[in-house]
Chains A and B, each alone.
Chain A
Amino acid sequence: MATPPSALHEPWREPERQHDAMVFGLWVFLASEVLFFGGILLTYAVARHADPQGFAAGARASDLFFGTLNTAVLMTSSLTMAVGERALKEGLVRWARWALIATVLLGFAFLVFKGFEYRDDFEKHLVPGLDFRFTGRAEQLFWGFYWTATVIHAIHLSVGIGAVGRLLLLDWRGEMPSHWMGAEATALYWHLVDIIWILLYPLIYLTGRP
């Protein structure tokens, strides 16, 4: 294996140690993210527990097509992200470049589909407080959760797209090979954003199906 060159920062003396610290630090951050989403998932669990039937009635109005499509899109983006990061580590810059471009495009595709879905939700009066379609409390709670959780997720994804975009910018300047550690960190974050969506998918789109 060709040891990839790396940009060594203070206070590190050895690239291996810097790499371990970066990966560890990122995992600690991800643990923190788990608690962040834990808070909103608890909100979901409490609301659903209070009135399962009403909650399911609200959830049935969600758009299963877009939900499933976006799950597939995001899972595929995790594939391209993994390929890109591993290719960079092996020094295959061209592969890495194309895989990362695909990742950014899939990320954008997710956001575009989400935008279409939001437009439909507006048209179907699924925004609590804005001429809302349901009168029940549980339905309001479900859609309150839907909007909050998906928007927070979309913000996370946008940050991820920015991080992958930064790698591509570095590539444009010919500096990507020395940033393989940054690519690994970006990939870890990207996968977590994917996992959160994987968890949101059944909670939002598969609740209350026949």
Chain B
Amino acid sequence: MENAGVLRGAPDTGSYLSESSVKSWLTTTDHKRIAILYAFSITLFFFLGGVAATIIRLELFTPNGDIVSADGYNRLFTLHGIVMVWFFLVPSIPTTFGNFLLPLMIGARDVAFPKLNLLSWYLFVIAGLLTVATLLAGGVDTGWTFYTPFSSLYSNSNVLLAAAGVFVAGFSSIATGINFIATIHMLRARGMTWMRLPLFAWAMYATSLVMVLATPVLAMSLLLISVERIFGLPIFDPRAGGDPLLFQHLFWFYSHPAVYIMILPAMGVVSEIIACEARRRVFGYQFMVYAMVAIAVLGFLVWGHHMFVSGQSPYASMVFSFLSFVIAVPSAIKVFNWTGTLYRGQIRFSAPMLYALGFLGLFTIGGLTGLFLAAIPVDVHVTDTYFVVAHFHYIMVGASVSAFFGGLHFWWPKITGRLYSEKFATLAAITMFFGFNFTFFPQFIAGYLGMPRRYYHYAPEYQIWNVMSSSGAVILAAAYLAPLAYLGWSLVRGERASANPRGATGLEWSVPSPPPTENFDRPPVVTVGPYRYHPEHETHQAPDHPAHEPQRSA
């Protein structure tokens, strides 16, 4: 058996950040350092995708095309989509907070396959370089969905290079998924039973499941497109007997579950923040777990709602429509349970909590408009309009990115060992919420009124909504840039953080900030469930519950 006592006498290895040479970073197998490598990479891509979004919003300020050409506009929104989906949203929370926190949360020394973890980062970098090369070579004009025949017959742009980038990024994501699944199964500390896992760990498990089982189908569909393009083999080309809808089936078999790759981790982050900052146990913990697993599984059965107007069989559309309504149930359970967790809580309106509350509202709007789109008649009406654009931005940006920023602030002291300025952070969180709604709510209206997506030149009656949206985007951009300043400042001048500045539960808070290289000086033993923010007998249902004590300073 392992004897941690032997290590006690050895000199303290210090925090995981103590080694600083470039080589030590590029060859590290420490999950915490790999998380930092990923954090740098995805930040670059976030701002690259953001630049594309900025140009798009500038272009749409007026109905006429003024800044870019029609073709340039196609390349811009394709770049924005590819970068934001595969190089920011899909890897965002899993590869940063997941890598950093998962082993800490379950009481492990590292992930199951540390070398594979580093390999996944290198694959991600290669994929990123291919995508940047695509950009430098002139970009792609197919849209992020690579629909045939846009991507096979009618595109003169660098489809192969872009597809290669996404293909490699997919392998990076599969490697991360396999690693997390094996880690959660095999490396939980003694006493860390499945029903004692923090919800963030469960979210990583559900996400990894989707990554491992959906991503290979994306890889195959991109491969088939490449083969069709390079060798002229007829696969999706209807003139040669191919079926263009087959591509959509293959593509959305991945890309709809990919939406859950983007939102499940956000749900995990928000569960941690809300429980801690409301000082309550998570309401209905087991239902939260089952809901996440149900979302991960059902997420594979609803892809056809992207194809209601594609010429798909109406009967299949009905089945997909029904299943899309079904998946709203576990999502709704989660929203109710987060709200239930807040009930009788001693809520601290800290920056992470503001992001989490923003998530709750925006996810609800995004989810409810998703129900509109699951209904075939409504979907047929608003397909390919800004209504759809607004809907998925509420989920992916409003919910996922808010949760990402919430998690960033929540765990910042743990990761860096420094405290940030709560005042600036609060301001940024509020600005982001308003900036986001200002940007995307008008798009619901423009879309409902009939403005189609992916047009750079639009009918003048939609201008008012686009002006609002573009103005909102300025506020949103400011809110995204602000953390660079005050979090950067905190790295240099920030007050040192204690091991547990938030009084949070969870094993990651039981080690120093920043954590030492070996995580725990002896393997922890878990005896209780998560989120012990108040005694067990204190239930939410007690109607005659005495008024709670005034909040103590945290």
Inter-subunit contact A40/B220 (CB<8 Å): yes
Complexed CA–CA distance, A176 and B419 (Å):
50
User: How distant is A165 from chain B, measured CB to nearest CB, in Å?
Assistant: 19
Cα distance A24–B184 in the bound complex, in angstroms: 12
**B222-256 toward A: CB 8 Å interface, digit per residue (1/0)?**
01100110011111000011110010011001000
Which of A28, A31, A35 is B182 in contact with, Cβ under 8 Å? A28
Q: How far is the CB of A134 from chain B (nearest CB, A)?
A: 11
As a 0/1 sequence over residues 143 to 184 of chain B, the CB contacts with chain A under 8 angstroms (1 = contact) are 000000000000000000000000000000010011101100
A selection of 17 A-B contacts at a CB cut-off of 8 Å is A11-B111, A21-B185, A32-B177, A32-B212, A32-B215, A38-B220, A40-B220, A43-B246, A47-B241, A128-B231, A128-B234, A136-B241, A140-B234, A141-B235, A144-B235, A147-B233, A148-B223
Residue on A nearest B232 in the bound complex, by CB: A129
- Chain B facing A: main interface SS: helix
Which residue of A31, A38, A43 has the most chain B CB atoms within 10 A of its CB atom? A43
Question: Which residues of chain B (338-376) have a CB below 8 Å from chain A?
Answer: none
Q: Which residues of B contact A137 (CB under 8 A)?
A: 234, 240-242
Q: Does B109 contact A (CB under 8 A)?
A: yes
Inter-chain contacts of B212 with A (CB < 8 A): 28-29, 31-32
Let me know if B109 and A17 touch, CB within 8 A.
Answer: no
Residues of B within 8 A of A50 (CB): 241, 243
Contacts A24-B185, A46-B246, A136-B241 supplied; 8 other A-B pairs, CB < 8 Å: A11-B108, A25-B178, A36-B220, A38-B216, A50-B241, A51-B241, A141-B235, A144-B235
Which residues of the partner chain B approach A11 to less than 8 Å between Cβ atoms?
103, 108-112, 114, 187
Contact with B along A13-26 (1 / 0, CB 8 A): 10001001100110
Main secondary structure of the interface of A (DSSP, over half): helix
A198 to B228, CA, bound (A): 26
**Residues in B360-405 with C-beta less than 8 Å from chain A:** none
B217 contacts chain A at the CB level, 8 A cutoff: yes
The docked-state distance in angstroms from the alpha carbon of A102 to that of B214 is 36
A39:B221 contact, CB within 8 angstroms: yes
Contact residues of B between 1 and 58, Cβ < 8 Å to A: 1-2, 29
Closest chain B residue, CB of each to CB of A138: B241
CB distance from B178 to the nearest CB of A (A): 5
Known interface pairs A28-B182, A36-B220, A144-B234; A10-B2 also in contact (CB < 8 Å): no
A117 at the interface (CB under 8 A from B): no
> Please, which residues of chain A bring their CB within 8 A of the CB of B195?
none
**Closest beta carbon of chain B to A8's beta carbon, Å:** 11
Q: How far is the CB of B19 from chain A (nearest CB, A)?
A: 16
The answer to whether A25 and B113 have CB atoms under 8 Å apart is yes
Q: Give Cα A31–Cα B178 distance, bound, in whole angstroms.
A: 10
Q: Which of A21, A32, A128, A145 has the most CB of B within 10 A?
A: A32
**Contact residues, A144-159 vs B (CB, 8 A):** 144-145, 147-148, 152
Shortest beta-carbon distance from B174 to chain A in Å: 6
Q: Does B213 lie at the interface of the complex (its beta carbon under 8 Å from any beta carbon of A)?
A: yes
A42 on interface, CB distance cutoff 8 Å = yes
At the interface, yes or no: B68 with Cβ under 8 Å from chain A? no
In the complex the two chains form, what is the Cα distance from A31 to B112 in whole Å? 18
**B223 in contact with A152 (CB, 8 Å):** yes
Q: Which residue of B lies closest to A139 (CB)?
A: B241
In the assembled complex, the CB of B190 is this many whole angstroms from the nearest CB of chain A, namely 12
Contact with B along A122-146 (1 / 0, CB 8 A): 0000001100000011101101110
Q: How far is the CA of A31 from the CA of B68 in the complex (A)?
A: 45
B219: Cβ under 8 A from any A Cβ? yes
C-alpha gap A40/B247 in the complex (Å): 11
Distance (whole angstroms) from the CB of B7 to the closest CB of chain A: 12
Chain B residues near A46: list those with CB within 8 A. Answer: 243, 246
**The one of B110, B214, B227, B235 that contacts A35, using a Cβ cutoff of 8 Å:** B214
**A-contact 0/1 string along B249-271, CB 8 Å cutoff:** 11001000000000000000000
Contact B186 A21 (CB under 8 A): yes
With A36-B219, A138-B241 known to touch, is A21 a contact of B112 (CB < 8 Å)? Answer: yes
Given contacts A137-B234, A140-B240, contact A32 B178 (CB under 8 A): yes
Cα distance, A115 to B100, chains bound together (Å): 47
- Please encode chain B, from 179 to 202, with 1 for each CB lying within 8 Å of some chain A CB and 0 for all others: 101100111000000000000000
Residue A33 CB within 8 A of the other chain: yes
Name the interface residues of B93-144: CB closer than 8 Å to any CB of A: 103, 108-114
Bound complex: CA of A20 vs CA of B185, how far in Å? Answer: 10
A residues apposed to B, CB below 8 Å: 9-11, 13, 17, 20-21, 24-25, 28-29, 31-33, 35-40, 42-43, 46-47, 50-51, 128-129, 136-138, 140-141, 143-145, 147-148, 152
Identity of the chain B residue whose Cβ is nearest the Cβ of A127 in the assembled complex: B231
Q: Closest approach, in angstroms, between the C-beta of A135 and any C-beta of chain B? A: 11
**Cβ-defined contact, A148 with B109, below 8 A:** no
Complex Cα–Cα for A114 and B113 (A): 35
A128 touches B232 (CB 8 A): yes
Q: Which 7 A-B pairs have the closest CB atoms?
A: A137-B241, A39-B220, A36-B216, A11-B109, A144-B233, A11-B110, A129-B232
Bound-state Cα–Cα, A5 to B111, Å: 23
Choose among A25, A38, A128, A137 the residue with the greatest number of B CB atoms under 10 Å from its CB: A25
Within 8 Å CB of A21, what residues of B? Answer: 112-113, 182, 185-187
**How distant is A57 from chain B, measured CB to nearest CB, in Å?**
13
Shortest beta-carbon distance from B106 to chain A in Å: 11
Contact present for A148 and B227 (CB under 8 Å): yes
Write the nearest CB–CB distance from B204 to chain A, whole angstroms: 14
CB pair A13–B178 under 8 Å, yes or no, is: no
Rounded to whole angstroms, the CA-CA distance of A47 and B234 in the bound complex is: 11
Q: A28-B178, A47-B242, A128-B232 are in contact. Are A40 and B112 (CB under 8 A)?
A: no
Chain A residues within an 8 Å CB radius of B214: 35
User: Is A38 within 8 A of B217, CB to CB?
Assistant: yes
Chain A residues closer than 8 Å to B110, beta-carbon distance: 10-11
Q: Do A33 and B216 contact each other (CB < 8 Å), given the known contacts A24-B185, A147-B233?
A: yes
Whether A141 contacts B213 in the complex (CB less than 8 A), given A17-B186, A42-B250, A129-B231, comes out as no
- In the assembled complex, which residues on chain B have CB atoms less than 8 Å from the CB atom of A152? 223
Contact residues in A for B177 (Cβ distance below 8 Å): 28, 32
Query: Are B220 and A141 in contact (CB-based, < 8 A)?
Result: no
Indicate the member of B111, B179, B214, B220 with the most A CB atoms within 10 Å: B220
The residue of chain A having its C-beta at the shortest distance from the C-beta of B179 within the complex is: A25
> In the complex, which residue of chain A has the Cβ closest to the Cβ of B181?
A28
Q: Are A32 and B216 in contact (CB under 8 A)?
A: yes
Q: A39 to B217, Cβ gap below 8 A?
A: yes
Residue among A24, A129, A144 facing the most chain B CB atoms (10 A cut-off):
A144
| Residue pair A10, B223 in contact (C-beta under 8 Å) | no
Expressed in whole angstroms, the Cα–Cα distance for A21 and B183 within the complex equals 8
Give the most central of B227, B231, B235: most A CB within 10 Å.
Answer: B235
